[in-house]
Structure 1
Amino acid sequence: MIRAMVVDDDAFVRLGLTDLLDSDDAIEVVAQAADGLHAIEQATAHRIDVALVDVRMPRMDGIAATRRLRTLPHPPKVITLTTFDLDEYVYDALAAGADGFLLKDTDPAEILRAVHLVVAGSAMLHPTAARRLIDRYHHTGRPQVAQAQSRIAPLTPREKDVLALLARGDTNADIAKTLSMRESTVKSHVSRILTTLDVTNRVQAALLARDAGLAP
């Protein structure tokens, strides 16, 4: 059973997301929070596997909350909620450790799929809108290309191939098919990539790859 937390200052949004998640027999909403500070308290009191976190909230916003959640002894996966072409903080949230993000008008079935994906260790980077939004705010940050290239330099050529596909938003299964590898081998490569790059998840690795020019 996937234990979920919904974090949003809008009570109607919390109710709607909770009802949706609870409709999946494999997901149980064990906590709700109206702001980031409350989310930290709830995640400390409950074992949370995945948290759906709004960006704009009082007291502590979703970016700061994500950063704090990722430092807990048993950090939950984090999916950031945002409004497309309105929220300018998505890149910061991903850099803080979020495993992906959803637009608030995302199809309900896609929200459920995202929860399963991130809990399984993947990232929600597939929708075109998601990639556009990451690209938009990522590139306006003027990343230091040389520094990023230096960080990926220790990777083997095969690991760089895997990283490039990961940055494109491919799943482990997609990467295995493209590179004619076993999925278990891809998982091992991804694990070594995260360790070598000193990042906490696939999203941060993908953003670093984009900094280095390894992915379009």
Structure 2
Amino acid sequence: MLMQHIGVGYFGYYRATAYAMKHSLMPEIAKLRMKALNFWDKHGIRAAADAFDVSTRTLYWWRRLLRTGGPEALIPRSKAPLVRRSRHWHPDVLKEIRRLRTELPNLGKEQIFVRLKPWCEARHFTCPSTSTIGRIIAGAHDKMRMIPVRLSARGKARLIKKRSVKPRRPKQYRPVKTGELIGMDAIELRMGDLRRYIITMIDEHSDYALALAVPSLNSDITSHFFSKATKLF
């Protein structure tokens, strides 16, 4: 079967399509600026400034943006500063915060501020505020968090093993045939005191879906639905 794009043979089809999509997806504020410039061309700059409640300088700026960059230039850009402020605290202050969080495991920022302020005053350091201490802790790679040692019944340190959560399906796994991987779920619908359930099934390879409304979700009804669904494949 021969497949080709619908614009083959029509000169300028894709250019016109891109132009239409560009204008249809423009934000409302860009459309408002374009409308103000068109109003300027018809009724003059003073009338446009009064009608859209902007200054003449703003209208001249919008026209310059339109002439240099096209309609896309009327979309407001981000006003975030290019050079952002960053925290620069003395390394000793950071070490003291970490020491307090280590000696008193997971000490809160309010309690750290109470202990850190006299320490900074004695060394003529600027003491960070409570909220800044919280951001410093959150910005650390390990959150300055210490796991306290747990003791066994005999007083020895007990090693805690982290349980690894195994996914139901590996990320790289993709079914190659119909019926190899099926996803099932249940939806509960309520209307007053009445409850109804919908069991859904979808095949990951063929996207074939099946749904059945049932009065309950007991094991007999679920197994019956599963047996009927497996016969389809």
TM range (shorter): under 0.3
- Point out the structure with max Rg over C-alpha: 2
Q: Of the two structures, which has the highest relative contact order with CA contacts closer than 8 Å and spacing of 6 or more?
A: 1
Q: By percentage of residues, which structure has more helix?
A: 1
Q: TM-score, normalised by structure 1?
A: 0.21
Q: TM-score, normalised by structure 2?
A: 0.19
